[in-house]
Amino acid sequence: MPALTLALLGAEGAAAPTFPVLSALILLPALGAALCAVLPKNRPDTVRQVAFLAAAATGVLSLWVMYHFDRSDAGFQFLEQKIWVRDFGIGWHLGVDGISLFLVVLTGLLFPLTIVAVTPEHEPKPYYAWLLLLQAGCMGVFVGLDLFAFFVFFEVVLVPMYFLIAGWGHGDSSKVALKFFLYTMLGSALMLVGILSLVTLHARASGGPVTFDLVTLAENQVLATTTARWIFLSFAAAFAIKVPLFPVHTWLPDAHTEAPTAGSVILAGVMLKLGTYGFIRFGLYLFPEATTYFAPLFLTLGVIGIIYGAIAATMQRDLKRLVAYSSVAHLGFIILGTFALNRQGLSGGILQMVNHGLSTGALFLLVGMIYERRHTRLISELNGLQKAAPILAGIFTVVMLSSIGLPGLNGFVGEYLTLLGAFASARWWGVVATAGVILAALYLLWAYQRVFHGAAQGAANEELAEINWREGLALAPLLAGIVFLGVYPKPMLNRIEPAVERLVAHLDANLGDDFVEVQGPAVERRGAEDLVHLAEEAEASAEAGGGHGDGAAGTEHEDGEG
Amino acid sequence: MVELVWLIPALPLAGFVVLVVAGRRLGEPAAGWLATLAVSGSFVAALITFAGLASRPAVERFYIQTLFEWIPVGNFSVDVGFLVDPLSMTMTLFVTGIAALIHLYSIGYMHGDADFSRFFVYLNLFVFSMLMLVLGDNLLLTFLGWEGVGACSYLLISFWFTNPANASAGKKAFVTNRVGDFGFMLAMFLLWTTIGSIRYADVLTTASSMAAVTATAVTLLLLVGAAGKSAQLPLFVWLPDAMAGPTPVSALIHAATMVTAGVYLLVRMNPVIAASYDWAPYVIAWVGALTALFAATAAVAQNDIKKVLAYSTISQLGYLFLAVGVGGYVPAIFHMVTHAFFKALLFLGSGSVIHGMHHEQDMRRYGGLYKLLPVTAATFIVGWLAIAGVPPFAGFWSKDEILAVAWNLPGAQGKVLWAIGLVTAILTAFYMSRQVFMTFFGRYRFGEPDAEEIAAGWDAKLAAAEAAASEADGSVEAARAEVETALASRSETEAALVAARAASDEAAAAAAAVPATELEAAQAALDAAGDDRKAKKEAQNRLKELEKPVKDADKAAKAATKAAEAVDKVTVSIGEAEARVEELVGAAASARSLVEQVRAEARAKKPTSSLVPLFSVADSSDVEDFLPAEVEHRRHHTPHESPALMTVPLLVLSIGAIGAGALNLPFASSTKFLEHWLEPSLFGHEVHLGLSGPHKVLLAVVAVLGGLIGILAAAQTYLRGAIRREGIEAPILAKAWGIDGAYAAVAGGPGTQGFEAVAAFDRRVVDGSVMGIGRLVAMVSALVRRAQTGLVRSYALGVTFGVVLLLVLFLTKATY
């Protein structure tokens, strides 16, 4: 396993690339989208192949980025910086660091897998075009280091998702698409105001030229504290809707439920991360003081999300809605870790973004497969499926256990780190959030019991088709990720941590004594010899005491300093 | 040789992986043999590691093997690594040893199961998880094993998933354990934030400098976790339900190994317990003592052979907590090992009985199986004597030590804890004897209907009589209706008779009215007509005309006679119908009286208690034809002894149940092998018995007497019938004091309602208000823009075009 990882995750200090790989990550799927749009309508297979190739090539490219990522470098890598609109200080500024790296890889891999796993029921041409455009947009958000470019990409992703839900969704999909759109547009509008104010006020305060450059804006903190807090809130509103946080989360279950499978997978796997990523990159980095100031608020919202999302998930009658509400809970952990403002919490949050992409992505694929076979997602209509489809059930079990946070699978590592981080810096939030792990077991196991256990009733349940090779092929990489990241998350954590450390240092630099990173004390690592020493001491004192104590439990009380 | 420790968990893991990939292809029995081989190999590796560890000087018996760094972030770091010391080695040896035997047994037990290989997939994964739990060199790796065994337990309890009860039991086990895991996780967080590490080497060596308040909090949080995994009050509810799993699972997971994990964890953390407030360990002791007593009372009233053992396990685990709480770590581990032997033996024995009895688990339907299942019976009896504390069987030695350390505790508390332990011991001997007597001794009852079935027979008989009575009532009604119809037709025919008579009278009158002279004249005219045709004809006509009324009168008279006959006939049939009604009414009355009779009989003879008569054959002759079909089924089934694959593990385990006491004999310091072996791992925190020799002997005698009292009482009750059972097997005990029922009521009632309320709140209030604002905005803008449809679609297109336009704009303005 370590050897494989080494090969996969690459050599240290790989040579800097000579071509603009991050631009390619955006342009490749965008070109694919254009190609899909112009291909003749009567050749759906060709469209599908082109779409897969474009998405897969992007995926390969993202792996290439991961391979060449220098883990000793805490800053942005693969930088591209071109002046775009000089008058407005807008630049084509792209870069990847440990925070965005794995989101880029996730975006690179989840799209081709989705294309393999599901085919649209009708009109493949626009479907694939929108899907690829979505990939381009997501990539743009994760690599963009210019507020203007970021905002454009942040908006761009809305459009294809809207059309995917409205065009290929189920049920009342156009109404749901409306809801999705209204919500996110509202957030975006606020953020746009925030961006423009930030840029102009920053220019005025610093006396420099107008710039949309994230790094410049972040590293040079000149805004008045109150101003920064207000602008932070405008950003936070957009991100909170995207995550989504209570109470602006209700678009999510609707959108997830009515969206086609691919839409749900991408929505949960990638698009929700735009919000949590935004909180880190454009919240913490851009507004260190405001983020710290408002941390208790967002910690609280995160904890509410964990408990409330889990309770709401328990009572859902629709399997897909249940998974959607579970996302509210899972994203709550990420928010909790982020606003714990320590390395454990932040790294755990970032790890959890990827973990959630893998396990909830897989869950949505599985629910989609069940829907394709049974044409219903109502839990009450499904029963005893394990009998007819044991492999499907087995895969569902593994993914479910990952989502529950079973140690040894990916979900646990992230969840544990976010809780650990929260416990250290915001103890009671951490305690309440930890109770959420009980609920996670409850709603998923109960759903599994109702859908897969029991005696199958009706021919449709009795004769459910087993998973096919194409579906297996799409799920296999996700399962591999689920197991690998649970057993050996170190390579990933090693790449995340320098960037997180830099972020914490950034907080420290800008807040001075107002900020202290809270984590457990650093200890000297002890070994077997220290245990031997302890045993020797015990033996010696027993001999000295003649081996006869007072008979009470714990005869060797050494009360601490209290 | 200790370097081989990684092989111990690696072999079951390899077995698991191979079986996941190729288990179905290997099929039965190859998959089972492969799994057994993997675990046996693990046992051998454990023996080699043990030899390596034992060859070192006592205090140097610590070895840490780090495989790789698992989760490193900032000041937090844990490895995947193993801590080998006397404590973990002891656990490893008995876990792998017993697991290997149970794997072997399972090849026989699961024979013919459609999911044979899946069973062994889970079983191997379980052993791997259990070994990670035991061998992990940090709390988080122990937690990995801890949750891993929980997941395997879930998968195995719901193994026969088509039965909803099994699926529910699996889920219940997992969720209840998660409640405990909440405590475990918080304990880890607290340790890390205070001492900066959750590695055992760091925690154990720095524990003595921990603040007492922190150590207490950690101890109590770990106790919450341990109470979940080891099924202590108040989190025990999942274990009785867990019996839904196949019996080898109950033996391995829910008796011998997994459920002892809580005790292991507490013993492992003994320096932290020692650093906490004085009262903290007593909390553990009280939880254990109360659980032990509570579960023993529940075990007394169970009828399911496995439920008795389940409550017994909870009770024995309570003993272990009691021991840990009073500082008796060695007795705790000692009893854990002996208990693993005899409880695994008892469970496997019960599995053998169930296997031989056509999956019947109700002890009321057993009895007299000694002759039919000789090996099972003999080994089960060994297990019984061991758990009942009869010397020199294993349980006697270990239980005696626990009672001694409880007594040893200064003050009244120690005496009370000891007394609770003694009462529990008496109850243990009692319910185990009850189980043995009901199963193997007494009359063979398998072919007999039991009380509940006879009651069902009476119900069926009464129902049949009632059906017959209502049928008779029905035919009475039908006959009455017939009489009614006949009566109606009689009045009809009578009316016809009156009419006919009137007509006849009229006709007669008409006939009489014809004057005789004219008739004569007509006759004369005819005679006179002679050959005159015309005149003859005329005369004839005239005569006919005159004679017609007479003929009519004759006809009418005949009709009247006929009508009179019809009336007579109807009258007769009415009589007959009335007679039939009378007859049927009689029959209905007798049918109803039969119902009353059956009801009275049922009242007298229908068994009111579910207690099965042990000393007389239940009289079922009255309801023979109404018994449930299963009875017939059982009558035709002959119980059989299990195959060697199952009896060999029974024999091996019974050797352990007899001899495991030799691990730690109290006669001299030199015979206390286990105590000396464990000493380094306990860092001097083991309590020192301040009792004199005779004092200890006296305690042992009291304990043995207690056990004998329990056995004798059971013999009086279940072998001789001298004590009535009604008072003992109380319904409240059968329901385990109703705790589980109360939980279920809360979860099903207010719990569900609360969750439902949150979901409704989300739907109506949260979504409603935000969408309300949205709709308002949409309405206003719709008015403003006079747009009727496709509002958002046009928004979306607008945004697309806007973005494209902006892009074009910027691209043309772009300067590089």
pLDDT tens digits, A192-203: 888 988 988 898
Contact criterion met (CB < 8 Å) for A551 and B410: yes
Determine the pLDDT at residue B571: 87
Domain boundaries, chain A: 297-499
Q: Tell whether the model's pLDDT for residue A557 goes beyond 70.
A: no
pLDDT band at A238 (very low <50, low <70, confident <90, very high): very high
Interface contacts A/B by beta carbons within 8 Å: 333
How far is Cα A33 from Cα A25, in angstroms, rounded to an integer? 13
Contact criterion met (CB < 8 Å) for B62 and A531: yes
pLDDT band at A166 (very low <50, low <70, confident <90, very high): confident
Mutate to test the interface with B, among A26, A182, A248, A401 (most CBs of B within 10 A): A182
Determine the pLDDT at residue B52: 95
Average confidence (pLDDT) over A235-241: 93
Helix (H/G/I), strand (E/B), else coil: B587: helix
Mutate to test the interface with B, among A445, A451, A487, A488 (most CBs of B within 10 A): A445
A483 exposure class (CB count in 10 Å sphere: 0-12, 13-18, 19+): middle
Give the DSSP H or E segment for B572.
helix B533-605
Contact criterion met (CB < 8 Å) for B73 and A552: no
pLDDT band at B67 (very low <50, low <70, confident <90, very high): very high
Residue spans of alpha helices (H) in A243-287: 251-258, 261-266, 272-278
A472 exposure class (CB count in 10 Å sphere: 0-12, 13-18, 19+): middle
Give A112-154 pLDDT, tens digit per residue: 999 999 888 888 888 999 999 999 999 999 999 999 989 989 8
pLDDT band at B19 (very low <50, low <70, confident <90, very high): very high
Which residue is listed with tokens 């119809």? B485
Which residue is listed with tokens 């018995």? B689
How far is Cα A292 from Cα A517, in angstroms, rounded to an integer? 11
Helix A343-374 to helix A410-425 angle (10° resolution) is 140
pLDDT band at B815 (very low <50, low <70, confident <90, very high): very low
Determine the pLDDT at residue B745: 87
Q: Is B780 on the interface with A (CB under 8 A)?
A: no
Residue A348 · residue A415 · CB < 8 Å: yes
Give whole-number Cα distances, A477 to A77, A111, A117, B682, in Å. Answer: 26, 12, 12, 46
Closest CA to A187 of A296, A271, A97: A271
Helix (H/G/I), strand (E/B), else coil: B92: helix
Determine the pLDDT at residue A17: 52
Helix B86-109 to helix B261-268 angle (10° resolution) is 170
Helix B693-714 to helix B394-408 angle (10° resolution) is 120
Residue spans of alpha helices (H) in A284-426: 288-314, 319-340, 343-374, 385-388, 390-404, 410-425
Cα B173 to the center of its chain, rounded Å: 12
Q: Tell whether the model's pLDDT for residue A161 goes beyond 80.
A: yes
Looking at residue B61, its amino acid is R
Q: Which residues contact B810 (CB under 8 A, 6 or more apart)?
A: A84, A85, A90
Contact criterion met (CB < 8 Å) for A528 and B72: no
Residue A337 · residue A417 · CB < 8 Å: yes
Determine the pLDDT at residue B807: 55
Q: Is B186 on the interface with A (CB under 8 A)?
A: yes
Q: Is B205 on the interface with A (CB under 8 A)?
A: yes
pLDDT band at B796 (very low <50, low <70, confident <90, very high): low
Considering only residues A187 and A488, tell me which one the structure prediction assigns the higher pLDDT: A488
Determine the pLDDT at residue A11: 42
How far is Cα B82 from Cα B133, in angstroms, rounded to an integer? 10
Considering only residues A431 and B795, tell me which one the structure prediction assigns the higher pLDDT: A431
Residues of A in contact with B688 (CB under 8 A): 547-549, 551, 555
> What distance in Å separates residue B802's CA from the closest CA in chain A?
10
Give B751-775 pLDDT, tens digit per residue: 888 888 888 888 888 887 766 766 6
How far is Cα B694 from Cα A385, in angstroms, rounded to an integer? 65
**Closest Cα in chain B to A504:** B74
Query: What does the longest C-alpha to C-alpha distance in chain A come to?
Result: 94
% of chain B with per-residue pLDDT over 90: 55
Determine the pLDDT at residue B784: 54
Determine the pLDDT at residue A12: 41
> What ipTM did this prediction achieve?
0.92
Contact criterion met (CB < 8 Å) for B204 and A534: yes
Mean pLDDT of chain A: 88
How far is Cα B455 from Cα A538, in angstroms, rounded to an integer? 66
Mutate to test the interface with A, among B5, B13, B73, B809 (most CBs of A within 10 A): B73
Determine the pLDDT at residue B445: 83
Residue B172 · residue A464 · CB < 8 Å: no
Give A5-62 pLDDT, tens digit per residue: 444 444 444 445 567 899 999 999 999 999 998 888 888 888 999 999 999 999 999 9
> What distance in Å separates residue B302's CA from the closest CA in chain A?
27
Give B513-558 pLDDT, tens digit per residue: 888 888 888 888 888 877 778 888 888 888 888 888 888 888 888 9
Average confidence (pLDDT) over B710-737: 87
Residue A438 · residue B147 · CB < 8 Å: no
Residues of A in contact with B216 (CB under 8 A): none
Phi-psi region of B781 (alpha: psi -120 to 50; beta: other; left: phi over 0): alpha
Q: Tell whether the model's pLDDT for residue A216 goes beyond 70.
A: yes
Give the global pTM. 0.87
Count CB-CB contacts under 10 A for residue A448.
Answer: 24
Task: Compare CB distances from A559 to B212, B281, B327 and report the shortest one's residue.
Answer: B212
β-bridge partners, B304: B362
How far is Cα A427 from Cα A433, in angstroms, rounded to an integer? 10
pLDDT band at B176 (very low <50, low <70, confident <90, very high): very high
Give B20-59 pLDDT, tens digit per residue: 999 889 988 999 999 999 999 999 999 999 999 999 999 9
Determine the pLDDT at residue A118: 87
pLDDT band at A553 (very low <50, low <70, confident <90, very high): very low
Determine the pLDDT at residue B552: 86
Closest CA to A365 of A390, A327, A399: A399
> What distance in Å separates residue A119's CA from the closest CA in chain B?
24
Give B293-332 pLDDT, tens digit per residue: 999 999 999 999 999 999 999 999 999 999 999 999 999 9
- Burial pattern B225-255, b for ≥16 Cβ within 10 A else e, equals bbbbbbbbbebbbbbbbbbbbbbbbbbbbbb
Ranking A460-469, B227-236, B267-276 by mean pLDDT, the lowest is: A460-469
Mean pLDDT of chain B: 89
**Closest Cα in chain A to B204:** A531
Contact criterion met (CB < 8 Å) for A247 and B770: yes
Contact criterion met (CB < 8 Å) for B687 and A525: no
Determine the pLDDT at residue B782: 62
How far is Cα B272 from Cα B637, in angstroms, rounded to an integer? 57
Give A428-471 pLDDT, tens digit per residue: 999 999 999 999 999 999 999 999 999 888 888 888 888 999 99
Closest CA to B85 of B112, B114, B52: B52
Determine the pLDDT at residue A558: 39
Give A490-509 pLDDT, tens digit per residue: 999 999 999 999 999 999 99
Contact criterion met (CB < 8 Å) for B687 and A553: yes
Contact criterion met (CB < 8 Å) for A308 and B59: no
% of chain B with per-residue pLDDT over 70: 94
